[in-house]
Amino acid sequence: MSRIRKAIFPVAGLGTRFLPATKAMPKEMLTVVDRPLIQYVVDEAREAGIEHFIFVTGRNKEVIEDHFDRQFELEMTLRERNKKAELALLEEDLPQPGATSFIRQQLPLGLGHAVWCAREIVGREPFALLLPDVLVQAKKSCLAQMIATYDKLDAKANLIAVEEVPEDRTHMYGVVGMGERNGNAFKITGMVEKPAKGTAPSNRIITGRYVLQPEIFDFLAKQGRGAGGEIQLTDAMIALSKSQPFYGYDFEGRTFDCGSKIGFLSANVSYALAREDLADEFRGELNALLGKK
Ligand code: G1P
């Protein structure tokens, strides 16, 4: 079983749901408390042992590249002012030299196309894929949980994080059919992207964390169009599932869909309440806002 060393982060989306905030700023740089969304997802990958971070970007996303680089003038000023804690924080978040790659997705052709754009940098090894719209708040990084399970699966297995949603929401996601279970993992019997209402094979949706085999690129290369006229990752996974096993994984943790305003606001509240330096005071503010003592 090959080790998972590389992760793809598709960050080319326009973020139209957050206009005007995202007019000049990428949606991945929206902050939850005091860290940009993308930093949480990179941290999750790093905690899972990922060594190379591949960002599939688009126009107007340069600031993401800057975020994972040194900010020389800022560091100098902090040093002059003896701001040791702030300097240490920046240092801690900085990826190793050479551990990041940035590729442009030239056209918004869908998630499958974004993943395919990373094929040369991934090469022929299994890799992780994390969608930065989804934050998973958990004791142990969601991807780390997945890789621990992946390591026990048969060779050439693919593993997808899934979660339960109410039936009336399944049409907004990729949905999996459930087969034989082994602990937190189960065999996937089928997949469908954005099923019409009432036709989903289960209420388990694809959450935005994947461990995939490189053969997925061979199917993505065919560039077939699916739901919404886009090149869908789910369709390539369906094709690959004819020759390789796919497993669903019920992870421990809570997700926030930060592609939606309610999910994003809830994430801010939940992550603030999890912070020792903020929780007590913030809880007081929240209670006052809600009219509670
Ligand atoms: C994508 C995937 C879908 C998955 C979802 C999770 O959809 O295509 O299978 O359930 O992410 O957020 P999108 O959100 O890009 O429409």
Between the CA of 218 and the centroid of ligand 1 the distance, in Å, is 21
**Does the pLDDT value for residue 14 go beyond 90?**
no
Per-residue pLDDT averaged across 173-197, rounded? 94
Alpha-carbon distance of 157 to 150, in angstroms, equals 7
pLDDT band at 65 (very low <50, low <70, confident <90, very high): very high
Average the pLDDT over 76-82 and give the result: 95
Ligand 1 atom at minimum distance from 172 CA: 16
Q: Is 0.85 surpassed by the pTM of this model? A: yes
Our answer on whether the CB atom of 50 is closer than 6 Å to any ligand 1 atom is: no
Q: CB under 8 Å, gap of 24 or more: what pairs does 194-197 form?
A: 194/227, 194/228, 195/170, 195/171, 196/171, 197/168, 197/171
pLDDT of the residue at 53: 98
**Short-list 187, 178, 124, CA closest to 157:** 187
Name the residue with higher pLDDT: 15 or 180: 180
Residue 13 has a pLDDT of 87
- The rounded Å distance from CA 284 to ligand 1 centre is 36
Atom of ligand 1 nearest to the CA of 227: 8
Contacts of 129 (CB under 8 A, 6+ apart): 7, 8, 10, 115, 209, 210, 211, 212, 233
Would you say the CB of residue 248 lies under 6 angstroms from ligand 1? Answer: no
Tens digit of pLDDT for each residue in 92-113? Answer: 999 999 999 999 999 999 999 9
Query: Quick check: CB of 234 below 6 Å from ligand 1?
Result: yes
* Nearest residue (CA) to ligand 1, atom 7: 173
213-229 average pLDDT score: 91
Q: What is the pLDDT of residue 293?
A: 61
- pLDDT tens, 108-165? 999 999 999 999 999 999 999 999 999 999 999 999 999 999 999 988 999 999 999 9
CA distances (Å), 136 to each of 40, 45, 86, 199, 238, in order? 9, 11, 25, 27, 25
Q: What is the pLDDT of residue 225?
A: 87
Angstrom distance (rounded) from CA 91 to CA 70 = 9
All domains in the chain, ordered by first residue: 6-259 (3.90.550.10)
The residue type of 128 is A
**Cα-to-centroid distance, 90 and ligand 1 (Å):** 31
Q: Ligand 1 pocket, 170 CB below 6 A?
A: no
Query: What is the predicted pLDDT for the residue at 2?
Result: 60
For the CA of 13, the closest atom of ligand 1 is 15
Render the chain in DSSP notation, one character per residue. Answer: -----EEEEE-----GGGTTTTSSS-GGG-EETTEEHHHHHHHHHHHTT--EEEEEE-TT-HHHHHHTS--HHHHHHHHHTT-HHHHHHHHHHPPPTT-EEEEE--S---HHHHHHTTHHHH-SS-EEEE-TTEEEE-SS-HHHHHHHHHTTSPTT-EEEEEEE--GGGGGGSEEEEEEEEETTEEEEEEEEESPPTT--S-SEEEEEEEEE-TTHHHHHTT----GGGS--HHHHHHHHTTTS-EEEEE-SSEEEETTSHHHHHHHHHHHHHT-TTTHHHHHHHHHHHTT--
CA of 177 to the centre of ligand 1 (A): 16
Assigned token pair, 216 = 């997925």
Ligand 1 atom with minimal separation from the 207 CA: 6
Separation of alpha carbons 90 and 84, rounded Å: 10
Q: Cα of 176 to ligand 1 centre, how many Å? A: 12
208 Cβ inside 6 Å of ligand 1:
yes
**CB-side neighbour CA atoms (13 Å) of 176:** 28
Residue 28 Cα to ligand 1 middle (Å): 16
The mean pLDDT of 66-91, rounded to a whole number, is: 94
